[in-house]
Amino acid sequence: VSESTTSELLEQFRRGDRRACGRVMSAVEAETDDAGRLLDALFPLTGRAWRIGVTGPPGAGKSTLVAGLAGAFRRTQRTVGIVAVDPTSPFTGGAVLGDRVRMTELFTDSGVFIRSMATRGSMGGLAVRTREVCDVLDAFGQDIIIVETVGVGQMELDVVDAVHSTVVVLVPESGDAIQTLKAGLMEIGDLFCVNKSDREGADRMVMEIEGMLELRPRSDPWVPPVLKTVATAGAGMEELVRVLGSHYEHLVKSQRMLERRIQSIRQEMRRLFDERVIQLAWASDDVSLLFDGLCQEVMAGRSTPYRAAERLMEQIRGAISKGVI
């Protein structure tokens, strides 16, 4: 993409053009050539949004809850961005959301921006740029960004790094509270929702979670509250907003908000620097040639991978000192 197209796109973005915002997010997600330039230009506009992660087992009602939560935030005049990471079902306002009416409202609300990131497999193993997509929404001016992920692995741990407050959504019949523990969800929640509380066993589930939370090692005075919600009826949403607000205050007062920001900047700088160091190391054909040659020597028993690595480093140091790379 040419320089002029990129700056045109940025100009439209800054004017609040939603299509431009979508295009910037697509570029960032796909790591196109101008993704870096776009993120670089938008960085000064980031750091304002409050980022909330919503995670939990498949079908727990996360999307329904996110829709309800977004609606509740909208009633307080705040704009909302919603990011669904690797949704098991597309986040398109269809039956998947359980509550068409509420979702349709969100889709037609200019204060809401919804983005689905279909990832696993389809992007050819690229890292999920959740943080960067949140940065784009932050720069676009969304006050609150809600990220939905299915709680099943490394992905949510990455997402936890990218958000300020994490809501773990469980259901009464996951009487396999133990499963939750195993999935590592107990450690990551800043607050817990026992959703589908219209069903049997909600109170028992609340007690089980509270019991497990007492065993959780604590480095933070914040004790994760456990709420009951019925996302389909919007029940518990105001309470959820209130408790999330307390968590936000806690983050600000305890300096954790600032620490998160510093940590996130460090991580991002580290990632970008590492990428460049690796690119530099492989920049000369000599290194690739030497690598292949050394590989054969190791195979033939004349060297070892360790000595080969040292030899490659010598080559790189030499190339740098000669100014070749």
Residues at the contact surface with Mg ion, assessed by CB under 5 A: 62-63
- Residue whose CB is less far from ligand GTP, 69 or 97: 97
What is the CA 307 to chain-centroid distance, rounded? Answer: 40
Answer whether 54's CB lies under 8 Å from 62's CB: yes
When CB distances are held under 5 to 8 angstroms depending on the partner's kind, the choice from ligand GTP, Mg ion, none that residue 122 binds is: none
Instruction: Give residues in contact with ligand GTP (CB under 6 A).
Output: 58-64, 87-89, 96-98, 150, 195-196, 198-199, 230-232
Q: Measure the CA–CA gap between 198 and 218, rounded to whole angstroms.
A: 31
When CB distances are held under 5 to 8 angstroms depending on the partner's kind, the choice from ligand GTP, Mg ion, none that residue 98 binds is: ligand GTP
Minimum CB separation from Mg ion for residue 96, in Å? 7
Answer whether 143's CB lies under 8 Å from 78's CB: yes
Answer whether 41's CB lies under 8 Å from 10's CB: yes
Minimum CB separation from ligand GTP for residue 294, in Å? 48
* Cβ contacts of 211 within 8 Å, gap of 6 or more: none
When CB distances are held under 5 to 8 angstroms depending on the partner's kind, the choice from ligand GTP, Mg ion, none that residue 195 binds is: ligand GTP
Q: Which amino acid is at 325?
A: I
When CB distances are held under 5 to 8 angstroms depending on the partner's kind, the choice from Mg ion, ligand GTP, none that residue 64 binds is: ligand GTP
DSSP-based three-state secondary structure for 54: strand
Q: Measure the CA–CA gap between 297 and 83, rounded to whole angstroms.
A: 50
When CB distances are held under 5 to 8 angstroms depending on the partner's kind, the choice from Mg ion, ligand GTP, none that residue 60 binds is: ligand GTP
- Residue whose CB is less far from ligand GTP, 90 or 318: 90
- CA atoms 96, 99, 104, 106: torsion sign: negative
When CB distances are held under 5 to 8 angstroms depending on the partner's kind, the choice from Mg ion, ligand GTP, none that residue 198 binds is: ligand GTP
When CB distances are held under 5 to 8 angstroms depending on the partner's kind, the choice from ligand GTP, Mg ion, none that residue 61 binds is: ligand GTP
- Residue whose CB is less far from ligand GTP, 24 or 66: 66
Question: What DSSP character marks residue 230?
Answer: B
Answer whether 51's CB lies under 8 Å from 145's CB: yes
- Residue whose CB is less far from ligand GTP, 26 or 92: 92
- Residue whose CB is less far from Mg ion, 62 or 102: 62
Minimum CB separation from ligand GTP for residue 233, in Å? 7
136: which 2 tokens?
């784009």
Minimum CB separation from Mg ion for residue 64, in Å? 8
Minimum CB separation from ligand GTP for residue 203, in Å? 15
Minimum CB separation from ligand GTP for residue 97, in Å? 6
* Cβ contacts of 230 within 8 Å, gap of 6 or more: 195, 196, 197, 198, 236
Answer whether 40's CB lies under 8 Å from 6's CB: no
